[in-house]
Amino acid sequence: MNTSNWTGFILTRLLSKPAGIVLTGVFTLAVTGCSLNGFNELLPAHADDARTGKTRVTEAEGENRAESLRQPGNAPSCCDSLRQLPYRPLAVDANIRLQINSTSPVYHFPSGRSYFSAFKLPVNSSSFRIELQSLIGKTLFEPTVMMLDGKFAVTRILGNDRFKYVAARGFKGDSIDGKFRVDRSYPGNLYNETYMIIYTTKAQMSGQTTLVHPAKAFAIAQGNQPPAIADPVVDHTGVGTIKLSVIEEQNKVAAEYVPGRSQQNLMDAMGDKGQNQVGVAERADTESGTNPTTILPETKAFYKKAVAMAVSEGNLDRALKLVEESQRLGIAEIRQYFLELLKN
C-alpha cells in the first residue's frame, strides 16, 4: 500500500473515533511525514471542529448567512410612525463613529425596509453643519438622510445627489461623503429641523459603485500616468460604518434650507407687543414668500407614498395611522388620497 493510500486508510479509521484520538492520530501522521492531502475531503460537510467545537459550513452557506445579515429582508418594522422611532441626542461639536448593522432597528420607509440610526438634533444652538462619511470596505452603505421638523413632518430627503464617492487619499480610505447645513435662525421654532434619520433605500441596496484602484490613486497623487488596470467594484448593502460630525457655525453663511416660522414662535419673539404685531409679522412673511403654515412638497409626497405602500401591502392599520398623522400636520388631502386608493 503506497503512502497516499495508507494515509487515507488511517484517516478513515480515525474519523470513527473520539475527537481526542483523531487529533492524536493526525499529529502522528504529520510527524511521520505522511501527507494530509485529502483530509478535508474526508470530513463530513458539517463535522464538528475538534478544537473549537464550531460547526463547519460550506462557502455558499457562509455567503448566504452573511448576506442575510447585510439586508433587512422582511424584518418587522420597529415602529408604526416616524414619531415613534428611537431618537438619541446629538450634541454640537459631536464627532462619532456609528455602526448600522443587523442589530440596528428596522423601519418600513416608503422606499423600502432599512436598518437605520435616528437622532434628535441640537436645539438651543447657532446654525450648524453636519458632515457625514460612509466608509467603504468590501461592501458599501449608500446613505439617505431624512430631516424632520419639531412636528415630525419631513422637511428634506438627502440622497445620492448630495452624497458622492470620494477616492482614498493619504490616510483616508474610500468613502461616500456629504455635508449639509441646519438652520437655527429662529431658536425654539417648531418648524426647525429637529430630527435626523440615516438609512438606505431598496434601490440603493441593489446598486454598485466603481472605486479608483489604489495603484491608480497613488500614481495620480504622484503626478504620474495611472496604470491601465481595472478598477474594483463594490456591492451596496444595508449595513455599514458611518462617521458623523456636527460643526457649529461661526460665521453666517448662505442658507440652503430655512424653515417657516410658527405663529407661537412669532408671538414669543414679540413679547408684550400684542397680537396686532403678530398679524403684521405674518403679512411680512407672506410678502417675503415665507408662509408659516406652508406644508412642504416633500412632506406631502412622503405621506402619499407611505400610504400607497401600506395599502398595496394590505396593511390598512398602518395606512390609517399615516392618514391621522398627516391630518395632525395639516395635510388634509392625504385622507382623500387614501379613499381613492381604496376605491381602485
The DSSP string of 118-183 is: EEEPPSSS--EEEEEEEE-SSEE---EEEEEETTS-EEEEE-TTT-EEE--BTTB--EEEEEEEE-
Identify whether residues 239 and 117 lie together within a single domain: yes
Q: Which residues pair with 197 in a beta bridge?
A: 118, 146
Identify whether residues 30 and 131 lie together within a single domain: no
- Give the containing element (helix H, strand E) for 106: strand 106-109
Is residue 38 included in any domain, yes or no? yes
Of the three residues 41, 56, 71, the one that is the final residue of a domain is 56
Identify whether residues 49 and 88 lie together within a single domain: no
CA distances from residue 217 to 138, 164, 178 in whole angstroms, order as listed: 18, 17, 21
Show pLDDT as tens, one digit a residue, over the chain (344 residues).
Answer: 544 444 444 444 444 444 444 444 444 444 444 444 433 433 343 334 444 444 343 444 444 444 545 788 888 999 999 999 999 999 999 999 999 999 999 999 999 999 999 999 998 888 999 999 999 999 999 999 999 999 999 999 999 889 999 999 888 999 999 999 999 888 788 889 999 999 999 999 999 999 999 899 888 888 899 899 999 999 999 999 999 999 998 876 666 777 766 545 545 544 544 344 334 433 333 333 444 446 777 788 888 888 888 888 778 878 888 888 888 778 888 888 988 888 77
Instruction: State the pLDDT at residue 54.
Output: 41
Instruction: State the pLDDT at residue 241.
Output: 97
Of the three residues 235, 259, 283, the one that is the final residue of a domain is 259
Cα–Cα distance measured from residue 258 to residue 256, given in angstroms and rounded to the nearest whole number: 7
Question: Phi and psi of 246, rounded to 5°?
Answer: -115, 120
Is residue 303 included in any domain, yes or no? yes
Of the three residues 56, 73, 95, the one that is the final residue of a domain is 56
Lookup: cell for 174: 474610500
Question: Phi and psi of 188, rounded to 5°?
Answer: 85, 0
Instruction: State the pLDDT at residue 270.
Output: 45
Per the structure, the complete domain to which residue 48 belongs is given by 3-56
- Give the containing element (helix H, strand E) for 109: strand 106-109
Identify whether residues 92 and 241 lie together within a single domain: yes
pLDDT tens track for 269-324: 445 443 443 344 333 333 334 444 467 777 888 888 888 888 887 788 788 888 88
Is residue 220 included in any domain, yes or no? yes
DSSP 87-100: EEE--TT-EEEEEE
Cα–Cα distance measured from residue 153 to residue 192, given in angstroms and rounded to the nearest whole number: 10
Is residue 338 included in any domain, yes or no? yes
Is residue 185 included in any domain, yes or no? yes
Cα–Cα distance measured from residue 71 to residue 117, given in angstroms and rounded to the nearest whole number: 15
Identify whether residues 30 and 94 lie together within a single domain: no
Is residue 267 included in any domain, yes or no? no
CA distances from residue 294 to 76, 258, 331 in whole angstroms, order as listed: 34, 12, 10
Based on the structure, what is the number of domains in the chain? 3
Identify whether residues 42 and 88 lie together within a single domain: no
Assign residue 75 a region: left if phi > 0, alpha if psi is -120 to 50, beta otherwise? Answer: beta
Instruction: State the pLDDT at residue 275.
Output: 41
Is residue 282 included in any domain, yes or no? no
- What is the 3-class SS of 195-259, one letter each residue? EEEEECCHHHHCCEEECCCHHHHHHHHCCCCCCCCCCCEEEECCCEEEEEEEEECCCCCCCCCCC
Long-range contacts of 145-148 (CB under 8 A, 24+ apart): 145/178, 145/180, 145/196, 145/197, 145/198, 146/109, 146/196, 146/197, 146/199, 147/182, 147/193, 147/195, 147/196, 148/82, 148/193, 148/194, 148/195, 148/196, 148/197
Cα–Cα distance measured from residue 196 to residue 183, given in angstroms and rounded to the nearest whole number: 13
Name residue 91's amino acid: A
Is residue 274 included in any domain, yes or no? no
Total residue count of the chain as it appears in this document = 344
Cα–Cα distance measured from residue 67 to residue 136, given in angstroms and rounded to the nearest whole number: 17
Lookup: cell for 101: 448593522
Instruction: State the pLDDT at residue 220.
Output: 83
